[in-house]
Amino acid sequence: MENESFITMPKGFKANGVSAGMKCEDPANINKDDPKSSYLDVALVVSDVPASIAGVYTSNLVKGHSLERTISKISSGNKVRGIIVNSKNANACVGAVGREDADLIASKVAEGLGCTADEIMTASTGVIGDRLPVEKITKVIPGLVEGLSAEEETAHLAEYAMMTTDTVPKEVSAVLTLADGSEVKIAGMAKGSGMIHPNLATMIGIFTTDADIDKGLLQKMLKDAVSHTFNRVSVDGDTSVCDMVVIMANGQSGQKIEEGSEDAQIFSEALTSLSLDIARMLASDGEGATKLIEIEVSGAASAEDAKLIVTSVARSPLCKTAFFGMDANCGRIMTAVGYSGAKFDPYKIDIDLGDLPVYRDGCALPFDEEEADRILHEHDINVKIMLHEGEYGDRMFTCDFSYDYVKINGSYRS
Amino acid sequence: MENESFITMPKGFKANGVSAGMKCEDPANINKDDPKSSYLDVALVVSDVPASIAGVYTSNLVKGHSLERTISKISSGNKVRGIIVNSKNANACVGAVGREDADLIASKVAEGLGCTADEIMTASTGVIGDRLPVEKITKVIPGLVEGLSAEEETAHLAEYAMMTTDTVPKEVSAVLTLADGSEVKIAGMAKGSGMIHPNLATMIGIFTTDADIDKGLLQKMLKDAVSHTFNRVSVDGDTSVCDMVVIMANGQSGQKIEEGSEDAQIFSEALTSLSLDIARMLASDGEGATKLIEIEVSGAASAEDAKLIVTSVARSPLCKTAFFGMDANCGRIMTAVGYSGAKFDPYKIDIDLGDLPVYRDGCALPFDEEEADRILHEHDINVKIMLHEGEYGDRMFTCDFSYDYVKINGSYRS
C-alpha cells in the first residue's frame, strides 16, 4: 500500500493527533513542522454519524482498563462515534481508578463532539502499572476535537500519536468496486512493534469504512481477517494487555453490504488483504528487527499442527538470533519444528530456505553456503517447511532478534 | 556443592576426556596444562562392573542419532559399562549414517574395554545437520580408554570435554549416610547453556553412584528428580534434540537400596538436591546470562496452572531483557502471567520482586525505586507470584537476555 493512505479516506471520518506532553514534557519545544511519533501521544478518529463497530481483542487474561471499557461498549451492540487512543501509558493494572480515568476521557471527548460518552471508545498503549496523567490528557481534548479534519496531513497525526517503539507509520487503504459498479473505501492504521504475538500483539489497529455494514457481519469479517493476519505475527512471543483491532462502518458511501452477497465477499477479501499488509509491516518493524521472516508450513496432518509449527519456529530465540547473524543454522529450524508439539514423522520433513533446499526427508543437505548467504542477506526471508502428512498449511510473520531488541527492551520503561 | 566434586567419586567409576580435534583443529597446539573446554571434545565415563542405568530424554520429536541409540539400549533393561559423549556436533538429522556412526564409536569403546557395544551408551551435543567426523573420534578412542582414571584431575577432563557454550564446569557430589550408618556416594556432571527449556534442555547430565539399585527404582528416582529440577530451567524456551540425563548405579559400595525403604527416601532426596544444584548452575550459566532468576508461583488452582505461569514468565523475552537492563518493569511480569493460559482472577494477584511488594490485588504499587534497583543489581533475583486461588505452587530458574545471548547465537555455527 502507498504512503498516501490515511485513516480518513472513507467518507465521513475525521481524525487528529496532539501532544499531551506524555512522550515529551514540554510541548513548547516541539517542532510543529515535524509531526513525528516522538511527541504526539493522543489520537482521535471520529465518524460524522454513528457507525457500526466491531472489535477483536487480546486473549491476555489481564486486560487494560481502557480496553475493558471498550469491550463492554462494543458488546452492547450500539453504534459509536469514535475512538480516542493514547500512547506512552497502557492504563493497566492500576485498579478501579483506571476505568474512571477512561470514562472521564471519553466524556470529555463526547462533550466536544456533542454525543454520549458511551459512543466514544478508549484505547491506551505503553507502560503498565502507572496511572494515566488524566489531567494532561483532558486538557488537550478540546483542541484535539477542534482540530479534527478529514485532510490527509491531519489524519496522519493520529497514526503518529499511536506509535510507541514503532519506527515507521503503518497506514493502508483500498477503494473497492462493488458488484453494481459503485465504490466504497476502507482505510486502516496500526501501531505495534514489540510484545507482539498471536492473540494479539501489543498492537492497536483501527479501520474505517464508509460502507454500510451491520454489526454482526462486520464482526464476522473482522474476525476472519484478523485470524490469518494479525494473529499470525510474532515479534517476541509476548502478548500484551492492551491490544485491539476495531473497524467502524459509517455507511456514508450510501452502499449497503449484505451478508452472503458478492459485495460481502469483495469487502471481506479486501479487509483481509489490508490486514495482511499491516501484519507484514508490524513484523518488519519489530523492535530492533533487521529482517522480515515468513514461516510457511504445508502438508500438516491438521490445522492445529500447522499452527503449532509456525508458532514454534517464529518464536524460537535461537532461530531468530541465527537470522540476525545471517547464519544458515537450519538445524535450529528442525529443532523448533520438533518441539512444537505437532505430530509428524521427522524422517519426512523437507525444509527450504528461500528457494534453497536445506533439509530433505529429515536430513540436512549439503547446500551451497554462498547461496544461503545471499538469501540470508535479503531483508525478506522465506522459510518453507513441508511435512508430507496431510493437507493443512499455515503461515506466520516474524523478525529477527538483534542487539537492538535487547537494548530497546532493557530500558523501555525509563 | 564444592569444586572438588568429580564424576568418579563413587567407587568403581573411571573417566577421561580427550581432544579429537573437533573444537580445535590441531591438538599439537593445545596447552596440556590448561584442560579447558576449548579443546577437549570427547568424554568417557565407565563403571568397572556392569551398572544399572536409568535415563530421561528430550521430548523433542526430532531426536539425535546418538540419543536414539541410547534410548533403545537403556529400554532393553540390560546393564551397561559406560557412556561416551562428544561435543561440537549433535549427530542429528544426518540420516541412517548417524546411527551407524554412533554404533561404530560404541564398538570402538567396547573393544578397548572388553565388553559389548550394547553396553556403551552414546551422547552427542553441538551443531545439528553435520555428519560426525567419525574417523577423528575413533582414532582417539584407544587413548581415551587407556587414560581412564578415578583420579580427580582426569575425571574433570570428562566434564570439560562435554562443554559447548558453557563457561563454567558443572559438577556435584554427595556422600549419603544410610539408615544403618553405611555410606554411598553420588556424583554428577552436566553441560548445558543455551537452547534450554523444560523437557529437557540442550543439556547432558551424567550421574554415577556406587549404591546397588535396581533399574526400576533408579528410573523412578531419576524421573522424580528431573521433573522438579532440570525440567524447571529455561534459558531461551528452545528444547534441543540431544538432551539426556542418565544415572549409572554400579553397586560397588556393597549397599543395596530397596524400593520403599528409608534408604530409598534418603537417596531420592539427595539425587533431587544434586539435580537442583546443577539446574541452578545451568540457568546461571545460560548463554550470555548476567543474572540467575528464580520465578516462584504459589496459590495456584492447579499444578498445571502453576507450571504454565512459571514457564510463561521464565521464557518471556520482554521480562528477560528488563532483568538484563535492571529495569523494574513489573507490568511485563503481570503480562506474562496473564497470557500464560492459567486461569485466575487478575484482581487477586500479588507480586514481589525479592522482598519488595510491587503488585497487590492486581494493581501496581508505588514502590521504592532505589530498593528495586538494589534488588535488580544482585546476581540472584527472586520473583514471587501469589495467586490466592488454591494450594498449588511451582518454581522455575531462568536467566536474563543480554547482548551476548544474541552475539553467541548469531554466530554459533561458524
What pTM was estimated for this model as a whole?
A: 0.78
> Domain ends where: B284, B300, B328?
B284
Q: Confidence class of residue B198 from pLDDT cuts 50, 70 and 90?
A: very low
Q: Are residues A236 and A326 in the same domain?
A: no
Whether residue A329 and residue B127 make contact (CB cut-off 8 A), yes or no, is yes
Q: What confidence score (pLDDT) does residue B387 get?
A: 96
Q: Are residues B280 and B296 in the same domain?
A: no
Could you say which of A199, A338, A343 has the minimum Cβ distance to residue B62? Answer: A338
Q: Are residues A256 and A305 in the same domain?
A: no
Rounded Cα distance, A103 and A98, in Å: 9
Q: Number of Cβ pairs closer than 8 Å across A and B? A: 225
Residue range A23-27: average pLDDT?
A: 74
Q: Which secondary structure element, helix H or strand E, spans residue A381, and what is its range?
A: strand A380-386
CATH number for the domain harbouring residue A215 = 3.60.70.12
- Does residue A413 contact residue A127 with C-beta atoms inside 8 Å? yes
Q: Are residues A245 and A323 in the same domain?
A: no
Residues of A in contact with B401 (CB under 8 A): 317, 406
Rounded Cα distance, A184 and A209, in Å: 7
Residue-wise DSSP of B128-146: SSS---HHHHHHHHHHHHH
- Does residue A229 contact residue A199 with C-beta atoms inside 8 Å? no
First to last CA, chain B: 35
> Domain ends where: B284, B318, B334?
B284
Helix, strand or coil for residue B55?
Answer: strand
Q: Are residues B250 and B316 in the same domain?
A: no
Report how many domains make up chain A: 2
High-pLDDT (> 90) share of chain B, %: 64
| B315 vs A372, residue with greater confidence | A372
> Domain ends where: A284, A303, A331?
A284
Q: Confidence class of residue A315 from pLDDT cuts 50, 70 and 90?
A: confident
Please report whether residue A8 resides in a domain: no
Q: What confidence score (pLDDT) does residue B29 get?
A: 64
Q: List CB contacts of B259: < 8 A, sequence separation 6 or more.
A: B214, B216, B217, B220
Q: Are residues B258 and B338 in the same domain?
A: no
Q: Are residues A240 and A296 in the same domain?
A: no
Whether residue A61 and residue B343 make contact (CB cut-off 8 A), yes or no, is yes
- Does residue A315 contact residue A237 with C-beta atoms inside 8 Å? yes
- Does residue B103 contact residue B226 with C-beta atoms inside 8 Å? no
Per-residue pLDDT tens digits for A248-286: 999 999 999 999 999 999 999 999 999 999 988 888 887
Q: What confidence score (pLDDT) does residue B148 get?
A: 98
Q: What confidence score (pLDDT) does residue A322 get?
A: 83
Count each helix (H run) and each strand (E run) in chain A, helices first: 11, 17
Pick from A321, A326, A398, A399 the residue to mutate for testing the B interface (most B CBs within 10 Å): A321
Please report whether residue A175 resides in a domain: yes
Which cell goes with A98?
483506571
Q: What confidence score (pLDDT) does residue A201 get?
A: 47
Residue range B354-382: average pLDDT?
A: 92
Per-residue pLDDT tens digits for A154-191: 999 999 999 887 888 999 999 999 999 999 999 999 99
Q: What confidence score (pLDDT) does residue B199 get?
A: 39
Q: What confidence score (pLDDT) does residue B414 get?
A: 47
Per-residue pLDDT tens digits for A124-147: 998 888 999 999 999 999 999 999
| A366 vs A116, residue with greater confidence | A116
Q: Are residues B142 and B270 in the same domain?
A: yes
Q: What confidence score (pLDDT) does residue A325 get?
A: 83
Count each helix (H run) and each strand (E run) in chain B, helices first: 11, 17
Specify the amino acid at residue B38: S
Please report whether residue B208 resides in a domain: yes
On average, the pLDDT of chain B sits at 89
Helix, strand or coil for residue B157?
Answer: helix
φ, ψ at A273 (rounded to 5°): -65, -40
Please report whether residue A2 resides in a domain: no
Distance from CA of B165 to the nearest CA of A (A): 13
- Does residue A292 contact residue A284 with C-beta atoms inside 8 Å? yes
- Does residue B311 contact residue B396 with C-beta atoms inside 8 Å? yes
Distance from CA of A196 to the nearest CA of B (A): 10
Q: How many other C-beta atoms are found inside a 10 Å radius of the C-beta of residue A136?
A: 17
Q: What confidence score (pLDDT) does residue B201 get?
A: 47
Please report whether residue B81 resides in a domain: yes
Please identify which of the residues A58, A202, A229, A272 carries the catalytic annotation.
A202
| B111 vs B36, residue with greater confidence | B111
Could you say which of B94, B240, B411 has the minimum Cβ distance to residue A335? Answer: B240
Q: Is B138 a catalytic residue?
A: no
Residue range A4-28: average pLDDT?
A: 89
Please identify which of the residues B58, B70, B122, B202 carries the catalytic annotation.
B202
Q: Are residues A113 and A215 in the same domain?
A: yes
Whether residue B61 and residue A343 make contact (CB cut-off 8 A), yes or no, is yes
Distances (CA, A) of B348 to A57, A59, A207, A382, B312: 22, 19, 35, 44, 18
Q: Are residues B375 and B278 in the same domain?
A: no
> Taking Cα atoms as reference points, which of B352, B53, B353 lies closest to residue B221?
B53
Rounded Cα distance, B172 and B188, in Å: 5
Whether residue A406 and residue B403 make contact (CB cut-off 8 A), yes or no, is yes
Q: What confidence score (pLDDT) does residue A240 get?
A: 62
Per-residue pLDDT tens digits for B332-343: 899 889 888 899
First to last CA, chain A: 34
Per-residue pLDDT tens digits for B104-155: 999 999 999 999 999 999 999 988 889 999 999 999 999 999 999 999 999 9
Q: Are residues B228 and B363 in the same domain?
A: no
Q: Which domain holds residue B126?
A: 13-284
Rounded Cα distance, B17 and B147, in Å: 9
Residue-wise DSSP of B334-365: HHHHHTSS----GGG-EEEETTEEEEETTEE-
Rounded Cα distance, B302 and B230, in Å: 21
Please report whether residue B25 resides in a domain: yes
Residue range A394-402: average pLDDT?
A: 86
- Does residue B237 contact residue B197 with C-beta atoms inside 8 Å? yes
Please report whether residue A350 resides in a domain: yes
Q: What confidence score (pLDDT) does residue A32 get?
A: 60
Q: Are residues A158 and A268 in the same domain?
A: yes
CATH number for the domain harbouring residue A371 = 3.10.20.340
Least confident of A111-115, A177-181, A199-203, B246-250: A199-203
Please report whether residue B86 resides in a domain: yes
Residues of B in contact with A240 (CB under 8 A): 335
Whether residue A241 and residue B330 make contact (CB cut-off 8 A), yes or no, is no
With residues binned 3-state (H G I as helix, E B as strand, rest as coil), the percentages for chain B, rounded to 5, are 35, 25, 40
Residues of A in contact with B93 (CB under 8 A): 331, 334, 359, 362-364
